[in-house]
Chain A
Amino acid sequence: MTMPNLPHPDDERLAAYAGGDVDAIADPSLVAHLSACDRCRPLVNELSLLRGALAELPDVAPSRPLRLVPPVPAPAAAPVGWLRRLTAPAMATGAALVLVGAIGVGATSGIGGLFGQAASGIFANVGDNLQGAGAPESEATPSDNAYVPGVKGSPAPSPSETRGASVDSSSPSQPPTARFSPEPAPGGSDPTEYANRDSSDEQPWLTLLIAGAGIFVTATALRFTISPRAG
């Protein structure tokens, strides 16, 4: 029996009813309409049957063999990750050593002296003063620079400052001769010895500075070469 005078519910509402939507099946006006409407009841019935058929659609065999075993994490990951985690503290340690070394060098030679020596070092004979094997030029310059050509025995202002620093420190000021190397360099170049004497004060600090820079550079390089994925 059709109900021509009664407006049909929205079709989406009927689809909701067919799917068992709680709102729809508990709606008395919708239920009443369906019990009487020959247009809507078959539609709901058909939608219900359609839904039942959808729920039976079978599983589908894969078109190609699937990888079923989960991938094993790479065994190298753990140690590399462990190494990578060490780089941050190593970088910090290196930076701290550089700082301490720089302060030490500054204190022993005097910052002004450093620059003064750098200026005079341009004229210095670098070749005869490579006492620190493998030391970068920049670190070699302060000792280099102590040598002022033609002024034997009275080196540039910096040595005097260095001596002043030596006096301040607990170690007794020693006469310059005490620090002369036993074997004078060929040609008996005194200035080299002066330079050696100066550098002997700065040597531990320089070593510290160089070692710190080495650690920092190595740790930084490691950090950026090891893949973060490995951790």
Chain B
Amino acid sequence: MPPRDPANPASRTAPLADEEAVIARAANGDRAAFTQLIEHYQSACYGLAWRLLGDPDQAADAAQDAFVHAYDAIAKYRGGLFRSWLLRITANASYDILRRAQRKPTTTLPDAEEGEAELPDRSAADPEAEAGRSELYRYLDAALRRLPEDQRTAVVLCDVYGMDYGEVADATESALGTVKSRIHRGRLRLRELMADHRELFLNERRLDR
């Protein structure tokens, strides 16, 4: 199955230089090679789990569950973007935890406090632009947390992590039409939630162009 090719932005973990070789060694049972891959992508996995679950401990649990699943499945890995493959596994592990916690009536997450501190530091070529961007990311993550859970899950998987509708439907065990509707409504709601920071957001984007 040829994976989609979500443009991997500079803010995300880039593939290892010799990734294919490392994957091949890991698939042959080389535990050190597997650990190297997981270590490289742990922030990607944790970030996804944290955005889906909102809780740092649950996110860490989900990421570690995903690593175990990945270890069991890596012999069956058939090419494509390893990052996307690992993120799909992480999405499933996170959704399992989310579903177990669904007894609770909470539909939105508490306002983010950890998220601000958890954004990794990046050396900034343009400190001002970098600060603006960091602020934008902070507001975006805060807005995502205020989405209803089903919309948040769908938007995070589709718009933040580049999964297609089918992949989101698989990960959330939902019908394709339901997923589309959640994504579209989630985008509209997110726009409303970002209304107070629109200028920053639009300016940031213009800066990039």
Contact = CB atoms under 8 A, between A and B. Distances in A.
Contact of A54 (B7, B12, B159): B159
A224 to B, nearest CB: 29
B21 to A, nearest CB: 19
B155 interface: yes
Interface string A15-26: 110110100000
A58 B12 contact: yes
A53 B204 contact: yes
Given A15-B188, A70-B34, A61 B160 contact: no
Contacts of B44: 59
Interface residues of B, number: 57
B114 A63 contact: yes
A57 B11 contact: yes
B160 A68 contact: no
Contact of A56 (B11, B120, B190): B11
Given A16-B180, A54-B140, A57-B137, A62 B119 contact: no
B120 A55 contact: no
Interface residues of A, number: 33
A51 interface: yes
B38 A60 contact: no
B148 interface: no
Contact of A49 (B42, B50, B201): B201
Instruction: Specify the main secondary structure of chain A where it touches its partner.
Output: loop
Given A58-B11, A63-B60, A50 B194 contact: yes
Nearest to B133: A56
Given A46-B198, A64-B56, A58 B34 contact: no
Given A46-B198, A47-B187, A63-B59, A57 B158 contact: no
A68 B12 CA distance: 19
Interface of A: 11-13, 15-16, 18-19, 21, 43, 46-47, 49-64, 66-71
30 contacts: A11-B184, A11-B188, A12-B185, A16-B180, A18-B187, A19-B183, A47-B187, A47-B188, A49-B202, A50-B190, A53-B140, A54-B155, A55-B9, A55-B162, A56-B11, A56-B137, A57-B140, A58-B120, A60-B46, A60-B115, A61-B120, A63-B46, A63-B57, A63-B60, A66-B67, A67-B64, A68-B35, A68-B42, A68-B67, A71-B68
Interface of B: 6-7, 9, 11-13, 31, 34-35, 38-39, 42-44, 46-47, 50-51, 56-57, 59-60, 63-64, 67-68, 71, 114-115, 118-120, 122, 136-137, 140-141, 155, 158-160, 162, 180-181, 183-185, 187-188, 190-191, 194, 198, 201-202, 204-205
